[in-house]
Structure 1
Amino acid sequence: MKKLIAAVLTIPMLLPGLLFGQAAAYRSDSVHFSNADKSIRFGATLTIPANKKRFPAIVLVSGTGKQDRDGNMAGHPMFKVLADSLTRSGIAVLRIDDRGTGETNGTYETATTKDFADDALAAVAFLKTIPGISKVGLAGHSEGGAAAIIAAASSKDVAFVITLAGLAVRGIDALKLQNYAITRSAKISEYDRKRHDTINTRMFDTAYRYAFTPELESRLRNTYAEWKKADDSAYKKDFPDGYDHMRFFIESYVRNATGAWYQYHITFDPVPFLQKVRVPFLALNGDKDIMVTYKENLDMIANTLKQAGNKQVTTQVLPGINHLFQHCVTCTREESATLKEDFSPEAIAVIRKWLKEVIL
């Protein structure tokens, strides 16, 4: 990949508590760079530790859904908080507006996880042009973890990988695990829970089987129609005088499932990529995460990397932590917006300790 040149506008930032002539802990720059074919121009913020001539750097890679460079999800700027802490500990951090967001152009909705991996590698190439940076790693959250794995398998320029609730199982398995966890956390009857599980599983299996074929949409509609007929009959028999509140939104599902992102995601297999990753790897997951369940994903990372000969693998489960790395109470998706915490201090401490011991 060609090295990329960026115009950098430096905006010195004095940090809280560093007043009255004290030196700032780091410098914060607004930067722009492009991918190899110049089709995407990225807007980003690069924070660089002060008083260091040589230092490693991390590219933060966001998860599913358009996010700005601060990683704002449910009102929490998780990437901004993480970048601040890591840069104070001597690591340069690049956080980027997603495609079609903020100062980055392009269309997010037509991109796949592979495209996001390519975006991460464009960021790595940019950082390698910055004086003082010794090595560059990737830290990906959720789907960003899968993108980081793909990128690290594709380029020797990636010196280390950190996944934060990183997707590391097959896409179809991830969808099923996620659906199961969500229905178990929902306030619905066991009867409706089984109905949700049945239709979702059937639709997932159909989407997986017919992905990237002309038959996909018709097969999805047929699967839904067959389930709906059987389900209506069963409900009428079980609740002859009842009103059925349950809905499966077939039109929105078909629209999503026939898109490029969904088809890539549901057929994604992490194993061939993980087998090629030879660099130090840290994987963190919360045990209350219902979006990316910790056991299956951490086991896949640990077992596949070690079987492939990578001896620099660390995995850790964080108790009481949800998908956005917050301490949670009910731990539902809806709760995240009501919590005050932006990013678990314990998680940050683990990352900083690992970086100090393995990377710095």
Structure 2
Amino acid sequence: MNKLLNFLFMTSLVLTTGNAIANEPLIGSWQGNLAVSPTQSIALIFHFTQESDKLKATLDVPIQHQYGLAFNKSTLESDQLSLALDAANIQYQAKIIDGELIGTYSQGGFKAPLKLKPTTTVSKRKKKVQEVTDIAPYTIEQVSFPNTVDGHTLSGTFTSPKGAVKAIAILLSGSGPTTRDADVFGHKVFAVLADQLTRKGIAVLRFDDRGVGKSTGDFATATSADFATDANAAYQFLATQVRFKHSKIGFIGHSEGGLIGAIAAANNQKIDFFVSLAGPGTSGGQILIDQSYAVQKIRGLDSKKLQESDKVQRQIIHAIENGISSDELVTLMTSLNISQAQAETQSKQMTSPWFEFFINTNPKQYFKKLTMPVLALNGALDLQVIAKQNIDGITKAVDPLLLTSKIYPQLNHLFQPAISGLPEEYSKIDITFSEQVSADISQWIKALN
């Protein structure tokens, strides 16, 4: 679940504005260090280019292996720069002073000064071994389709094997603003998964989240239930095409995408199959409690401090479940020895519509309504959505005649071969997505009646 781990999120290019002559002092790369805590800072590299008479601004976060995060709003008026990446609630306001950009970076409730200087140092993302480098042996289409419920348009990529399309999988991303390729931790997870499945005979539709990349709409205010309407918009787009009238169409949801898929499928009994990849089988609140405990334990926190941290986590989560306000949450957190600054930043995020929905939603209510075959998969080293309790939750809710489940040893939350399962390993692993898992998915789909 990227939103719970990444300080900075990913998106891709949307419309920018500006003036060609005024933009000239900015063109090039600028670097600065953002202090995210008294003891930790993150290097950020901003890139400014000119496209016709418009300013384009992108951001690299090398330590997180994130590159080319594009601001959807970029303006320079006189010497005042204003950038916004609305899907991740990121803003940067700065003024050009003596050849430097002096300003303030903000994301959600977090705010800190950020000074940028021109640089010639540029980090480039390195391709992972499973990314497509040759001419793909299948058809690739760039598509768009409407969500008539919320009134926006979604943009994506459709890949299909040669010949008749017997089955189509719609990929649903995890938390955080995500492009169709699911660019995360230096990997393109959905691009790789789509390639693997399509080569195995399964057509795939993957799309940019609402408000991200080429998709319109508002990401920042949406909940998992809203994203479920995007999933069913994708289904409707495919199901109404004559060429797919004999094709099975289903969802493959990763992490929060598993919850989104369950909600969408519960509201659409025409879905032919549903695959949960490290999807939740317990409430969001329980997932976060389990996640915090597991990650800190593997990182070596001693038993006493681990128990104390777990107690704090439970108090905070239970308060949110009971509808605590943002101001009340700040008071609670500071009483638990969390700094005022950290409490103020986190309270705004933890009382947002998305977070409150996620915390309070138990996916079992949706799994109980499913009437299509369900495949639930997890990695044994998943420290974000713990395999046993979440597979158990799905197992208790889904009709046993419909359910197939499997836990893979040595695989993490992204279904990579891992050592500890800690998130900091993700970017260091060359493999993006296990070929065995994609093979099992394709075989399971092909075997459906």
Q: Please state how far the C-alpha of 1:110 moved relative to its aligned partner.
A: 1.1
Normalising by structure 1, we get a TM-score of 0.83
Amino acid at match of 1:218: D
Equivalent residues of 2:221, 2:353 under 8 A apart: yes
Is 1:33 matched up with 2:126? no
Partner Cα distance (1:198, 1:247) in 2: 19
How far did residue 198 of structure 1 move?
A: 2.4
Q: 2:345 aligns with which of 230, 252, 259?
A: 252
C-alpha offsets along residues 191-221 of structure 1, whole Å, 9 cap, x if unaligned? 43333222222111111111xxxx5223312
- Whichever residue aligns with residue 147 of structure 1, its letter is I
Which of 229, 235, 247 is 1:124 aligned to?
235
Which amino acid in 1 is paired with 2:177? K
Show the 5 A alignment for 1:285-304: 285-304=378-397
Mapped contact 1:321–1:328 kept (Cα < 8 A): yes
CA separation of 1:320/1:248 partners in 2, compared to 1, >3 Å: closer, same or farther? farther
Question: Which among 194, 208, 226 is matched to residue 83 of structure 1?
Answer: 194
* d(CA) in 2 for partners of 1:248, 1:351: 45
Match of 1:194 among 307, 316, 337: 307
Partner Cα separation in structure 2 for residue 346 and residue 299 of structure 1: 22
Structure 2 length-normalised TM: 0.67
Give the aligned partner of residue 227 of structure 1: 336
Q: In the aligned structure 1, how far is the partner of 2:386 from the partner of 2:206? A: 25
CA distance in 2 between counterparts of 1:293 and 1:198 reads: 19
In structure 1, what residue type is equivalent to 2:369?
K
Q: Percent identity?
A: 34
Q: 1:353 maps to what in 2?
A: 443
Paired amino acid for 1:107: D
2:255 corresponds to 1:142? yes
Q: How does 1:198-209 map to 2 (within 5 A)?
A: 198-209=311-322
Q: Alignment partner of 1:132: what SS?
A: helix
Rounded Cα–Cα distance in structure 2 between residues aligned with 1:322 and 1:130: 37
Distance 1:25 1:305 in 2: 37
Per-residue CA deviation, residues 272-328 of structure 1 (Å, 9 max, x unaligned), is: 21111010000110000000000111111112113xxx5121000000000111001
Aligned equivalents of 2:325, 2:134: Cα separation in 1: 58
Report what 1:12 is aligned to: none
The residue type equivalent to 1:112 in the other structure is T
Cα distance change of structure 1 residues 259 and 16 upon mapping to structure 2, 3 Å threshold:
closer
CA deviation map 1:26-60 (0-9, x unaligned): 200000111014622111000111122x4221100
Deviation at 1:102, TM superposition (A): 1.1
Q: Hey, what's the Cα distance between the residues in 1 that align with 2:442 and 2:202? A: 9
- Distance in 2 between residues matched to 1:207 and 1:118, nearest whole Å: 25
Q: Secondary structure at the match of 1:51?
A: coil
Aligned equivalents of 1:349, 1:319: Cα separation in 2: 16
CA distance in 1, matches of 2:403, 2:398: 7
Structure-2 change in CA distance of 1:288 and 1:121 (3 Å): same
2:416 is matched by which residue type in structure 1?
Answer: Q
Shift in Å, 1:268: 0.3
| Aligned-residue offset at 1:190 | 3.7
Q: Distance in 1 between matches of 2:428 and 2:301?
A: 21
Aligned to 1:235: none
Flag the 1:248–1:142 CA change in 2: closer, same or farther, 3 A.
farther
Does 2:373 align with 1:280?
A: yes
2:269·2:370 contact (CA, 8 Å) conserved in 1? no
For the 8 Å contact 2:252–2:258, the answer to whether it is kept is yes
Question: Which of 264, 268, 271 does residue 151 from structure 1 map onto?
Answer: 264
Residue identity matched to 1:83: A
Q: Which residue of 2 aligns with 1:334?
A: 424
Change in CA separation of 1:292 and 1:248 when aligned onto 2, cut-off 3 Å: farther
1:50 aligns to what? 162
CA distance in 1: counterparts of 2:306 and 2:295, whole angstroms:
10
Cα drift, residue 336 of structure 1? 0.4
Is the CA contact (8 Å cut-off) linking 1:206 and 1:219 kept in structure 2?
no
Gaps of 5+ in 1: 1-14, 19-23, 232-245
CA gap 1:130/1:61 in 2 versus in 1, 3 angstroms = same
- Whole-Å Cα distance in 1 between the matches of residues 301 and 368 of structure 2? 41
Q: In structure 2, how many angstroms separate the alpha carbons of the residues matched to 1:77 and 1:113?
A: 22
Aligned length: 316
Which has a greater percent of helix? 1
Q: Do the aligned residues in 1 keep the contact of 2:297 with 2:306 (CA within 8 Å)?
A: yes
| CA deviation string 1:214-237 (max 9, x = no partner) | x52233123223323xx9xxxxxx
Counterpart mapping for 1:92-103 below 5 A: 92-103=203-214
The match for 2:170 among 59, 69, 93 is 59
State the AA in 1 paired with 2:215.
Answer: T
Distance 1:249 1:334, change over 3 A: same
Q: Which runs of 5+ in 2 are unaligned?
A: 1-131
Contact 1:44/1:95, CA 8 A, preserved across alignment: yes
Classify 1:337/1:248 alpha carbon distance in 2 versus 1 (closer, same or farther; 3 Å): farther
Alignment CA distance shift 1:273-1:217 (3 Å): same
Residue by residue, what CA displacement relative to the aligned partner does 1:134-179 show, whole Å, maximum 9, x if unpaired? 2210000000000000011001221110010011211211111111
Distance 1:289 1:218 in 2: 34
Cα deviation for residue 248 of structure 1 reads: 8.7
Equivalent pair of 1:320/1:327 in contact (CA under 8 Å): yes
Contact 2:254 2:276 in 1 (8 A): yes
Please state how far the C-alpha of 1:118 moved relative to its aligned partner: 0.8
Change (3 A) 1:141 1:276: same
